[in-house]
Amino acid sequence: MRKIDLACIIDDDPIFIFGAKRMMELSGFCNSFIVFKNGEDAINNLKPMMNTRQPLPDIILLDINMPIMDGWQFLDEFIQIDSHKEITIYIASSSIDPIDLKRAERYENVSNYIIKPISLNTLKRILGGSL
């Protein structure tokens, strides 16, 4: 099972962020992680990293319901940016609305839709390539 070098969490919920980081630490999921509290902060930080070929996250866990710029708006901007690296995006949401699930399928950059909370098992399945 491989280990992720850099993971990114884009979410405005401090409890989810704490739990996801803790699960990542316990599972040995990644070497490090970066956190952004909304899509706008994420775009404003990731875009320059992509343009200057800095190390980028291998995986993004993206919430869709956030203030300022939600996950859908983030995705719409993110897919317009040329990247020197393929980044796997997982939507991590508490929404079980079929409309959200269908909408996520329209983005080829989105690998899967994960219902919160994130578990150790989910992270292991991501690492194993079975999610």
- Residue 52: pLDDT band (50, 70, 90) is confident
Spatial strand order of the sheet with 30-36 comes to 30-36, 4-10, 59-62, 88-93, 110-115
The residue type found at 84 is H
Span 13-19, average pLDDT: 95
- Residue 130: pLDDT band (50, 70, 90) is low
Contact 74, 62 (CB under 8 A): yes
Beta bridge partners of 59: 7, 88
Span 32-38, average pLDDT: 95
Question: Is the confidence at residue 1, as pLDDT, over 60?
Answer: no
Residues in the chain: 131
Mean pLDDT (the chain, rounded): 90
Span 5-14, average pLDDT: 96
Question: Is the confidence at residue 127, as pLDDT, over 80?
Answer: yes
Model confidence pLDDT, tens digit, residues 67-111: 999 999 999 999 998 887 889 999 999 989 999 999 999 998 899
Element holding 114 (H helix, E strand): strand 110-115
Provide the token pair at 102.
Answer: 């269908």
Which domains, ranges and CATH numbers included, belong to the chain? 4-128 (3.40.50.2300)
